[in-house]
Structure 1
C-alpha cells in the first residue's frame, strides 16, 4: 500500500530528523497556501470578481509552472547522470510535461495527507513486525509474524 509505505518513511523522519517541525512547516505552507488560493479563486468567481479571479489564477498557474520547471531541471540533471553511466535516457515529451503539470496538485494533497496521518500514527507494521511508537526512545514490538516471501507482491522489481 503506497500510503502505508509513505507513512513509514515520514515516521522515520518524525523520529530521527533534528528539524522535524521545519519539515511540518514546509509541508503545510507548500500545501495550504496553494489550496487557499484555489478556494479564494472560487470565492471570487462566485462573487463575479472576474479580474481578481483571473489575476489570482494566473499567479497559481505561474507557481505550478515554476514547479514543473524545477522538476524539468532535476530531470535534465538525472539525464546527465544516466548519459555519463551509459544508460538509456528516457524521452521527455510534451505529454509527459503536461502530466507533470496535472499531477503537482495531486502530489501536494497526497504529501499533506501523509504528513497529517503520520502525526497520529502510533503503530507501524513492516515485514510482519508490528511496532507501537510513543516517541524516539519508546518503540515497542507488539506483534511478530514471521516474514514470508509469499506475503510480498509478485513483481520482482517491487521494493521490500
Structure 2
C-alpha cells in the first residue's frame, strides 16, 4: 500500500462523521498535530490502515465489535502499549524486527527502540489497535478477511 494522501485522511474522517478533535483522540495525538495531517503531513501507514478498517475501506480486512450493540469505534482501546506487548505482538505475527518495521512503516532502528525497556517510546492508539487486531489480541474487536 502506498502512503495515504492528505485528502484521503480527511475524506475518511468525514465518512466516519468525526470532528478533527475526535479523530485526533482516536489516533492519540493533539488536535494541532491532526490538523497538520489534513494540511501538510502524512499519516503513519498502520494508523491509516486502521482508519480504513473503521471506514469499511480496507483492501484485505473487515473489522467488527465483539459486542454487537457497539460500533468498532466504541471498542477502541486508548491505553498505551508497552514494549513487552509490542514484542509479543511481533512474535505472534511471526515477524522479525525488520519485517515488523516494514509492516508499520518505521525504520528498523525505530521499531527496535519500541521493544526495548526504558526507551520511553511506544506506538499511538491507532497503530496499537491495528496491531492487536492483526495478532488476534484485541479485547473488543475482531478482524476478518474481506471476501
Normalised TM-score (structure 1): 0.25
The structure whose RCO (Cα within 8 Å, separation 6+) is larger is 2
Q: Which has the larger radius of gyration?
A: 1
Provide the TM-score with structure 2 as the length reference: 0.27
